Amino acid sequence: MNLVKLTINSREVEVQSGTTILKAAEKIGIDIPRLCYDDDLSPVGACRLCMVEVKGARSLVPACVTAVSPGMVVETESPVVIESRRTTLNLLISNHPLDCLICEKLGDCGLAEYCYKYGVKESTFQGERHDYVIEENNSFIIRDLNKCIQCGKCIRACDEWTGIHNLDFIYRGFDVKPATALDSTYVDSECVFCGNCVTVCPTGALTEKQMKRQGRRWEVQKVKTTCPFCGTGCNFDLNVKDGRITGVTANRTSIVNGRALCVKGHYGWDFVQNEKRLTTPLIKKDGEFMPATWDEALDLIANRLKGIKEQYGPDAFAALSSARCTNEENYLVQKFTRAVMGTNSVDHCART
């Protein structure tokens, strides 16, 4: 292993050759601001907020894409660096709605966090501003490109996590924006509504529609759980407020899936609180389903299955198990099929 020694903010650190300044700083507990960078995405150095001062360099360098070199001396909070970040934030909010009081991302917005840190409350740059129509014509994602800062994280998540390549930058200069082919809506594009673009968005440009007006980010309790929709075993956080689920967000510590989710895992949780969900067993009597106790329902099932086996034989019965059940429940299904019903006719929806 080829190790490199450098100094960051008067502190010496040793890292592997090829490590970026940003990751080297993180190793010794120094946080460098970033908006376009994400540990789980390829670095692009687009937002210019992570600029740092390197002794001997002619200009500031982006920490997220600049590799360390032996003897490098770095300052991450020098006066010129701080002024650069303030200018960058000043430019970003010059065309950004300052409606933080009603923004769904308040409390979880990287742009607002850094504006607070560096004391940038309004822009000194005046000029033309975008007035995009807010896209809400689907059941899952609200897209407000007026709040987009062109970090490109949504594009990279769509490419690198989902593999759909549904988004890319279109137009040039002031009019550049991340968009679908022909600048169509998500509904009319190749979008699979996995919501991974929402997961990585650092501002209120992309938000979960189901979570709108359901509570501030600091009001919800996050409960890590496993998705019940297939056998993959993805983890995510249930966002819970006042005993009710308000939405699903990705959990960085998920071993199986990381922060990547599919449309079912990200947005298919609302059945839990659906008013039509059954809460008691039903038995059909005289052509109508009537509420029954669990003992009544289980006795009926046992007697019917026993009668089928006695009349038609074990192979008249077959069991199809579900990936929505736990491994223990699926084990019991196959054991019941083989040991009680006497047949090996058992299958599982996730077998293939």
Domain of 34: which CATH number?
Answer: 3.10.20.740
**C-alpha closest to that of 208 among 188, 20, 217:** 217
Is residue 116 in a domain?
A: yes
Q: What is the CATH number of the domain that holds 100?
A: 3.30.70.20
- The residue-averaged pLDDT of 239-264 equals 95
Residue 323 has pLDDT above 80, yes or no: no
3-state secondary structure 48-74: CCCEEEECCCCCCEECCCCECCCCCEE
Which residues lie below 8 Å from residue 283, measured CB to CB, with a gap of 6+? 289, 290, 292, 296, 297, 300
Residue 65 has pLDDT above 90, yes or no: yes
- Residue 324, in any domain of the structure: yes
**Number of domains the chain contains:** 4
Q: Are residues 127 and 189 part of one domain? A: yes
Residue 180 within any structural domain of the chain: yes
Tell me: do 109 and 203 sit in the same domain: yes
Cα distances (Å, whole numbers) of residue 314 to 100, 202, 298, 330: 65, 58, 20, 20
In this predicted structure, the answer to whether residue 167 has a pLDDT above a threshold of 60 is: yes
Do 191 and 105 belong to one domain? Answer: yes
- Same domain for 227 and 201: no
Tokens describing residue 210: 């189901």
Identify whether the C-beta of residue 167 lies closer than 8 Å to the C-beta of residue 154.
Answer: yes
Q: Which residue has the higher pLDDT, 206 or 228?
A: 206
CA distance 20 to 50: 12
Q: What is the gyration radius of the CA atoms in the chain, in angstroms?
A: 27
Q: Look at residue 87 and tell me if it is in a domain.
A: no
pLDDT reported for residue 145: 97
SS (H, E, C) the chain: CCEEEEEECCEEEEEECCCEHHHHHHHCCCCCCCCCCCCCCCCCCCCCCCEEEECCCCCCEECCCCECCCCCEEECCCHHHHHHHHHHHHHHHHHCCCCHHHCCCCCCCHHHHHHHHCCCCCCCCCCCCCCCCCECCCCCEEECHHHCCCCCHHHHHHHHHHCCCCCEEECCHHHCEEECHHHCCCCCCCCCCCCHHHHHCCCCCEEEHHHCCCCCCCCCEEEEEECCCCCCCCEEEEEEECCEEEEEECCCCCCCCCCCCCHHHHHCCHHHHCCCCCCCCEEEECCEEEECCHHHHHHHHHHHHHHHHHHHCHHHCCEEECCCCCHHHHHHHHHHHHHHCCCCCEEECCCC
Residues 67 and 50 in one domain: yes
* pLDDT on residue 103: 95
Mean pLDDT of 296-320: 96
Which of 77, 107, 139 terminates a domain? The answer is 77
Alpha-carbon distance 85 to 261, whole Å?
33
Q: Tell me: the pLDDT tens digits for 265-281?
A: 999 998 899 999 999 99
Closest Cα to residue 223, out of 208, 203, 235, 237? 237
β 11-16/51-54 pair status: unpaired
Domain boundary among 23, 49, 77: 77
Domain harbouring 222, CATH code? 2.20.25.90
**Does pLDDT of 97 surpass 60?**
yes
Question: Residue 193 domain-assigned?
Answer: yes
Same domain, yes or no, for 287 and 338?
yes
161 domain residue, yes or no: yes
Query: How confident is the model at residue 127, as a pLDDT?
Result: 87
Looking at 44, 77, 110, the residue that finishes a domain is 77
Domain match, 106 and 187 both: yes
Instruction: Say if 86 falls within a structural domain.
Output: no
286/268 same-domain check = no
Asked whether residue 155 is assigned to any structural domain, the reply reads yes
**Residues 114/48, Cβ–Cβ less than 8 Å:** no
Residue 349's pLDDT band (cuts 50, 70, 90): confident
Note whether 123 and 189 are same-domain residues: yes
208 & 227 share domain: no
167 and 106, same structural domain? yes
Record the pTM: 0.86
At 212 the pLDDT is: 95
CA–CA separation, 104 and 207 (whole Å): 7
Give me the CATH number covering residue 309. Answer: 3.40.50.740
Average pLDDT, the chain: 94
Assess whether 138 and 55 both reside in one domain.
no
pLDDT band at residue 230 under the 50/70/90 scheme: confident
CA pair distance 326, 234, nearest whole angstrom: 13
Range of the domain at 332: 282-348
pLDDT reported for residue 352: 54
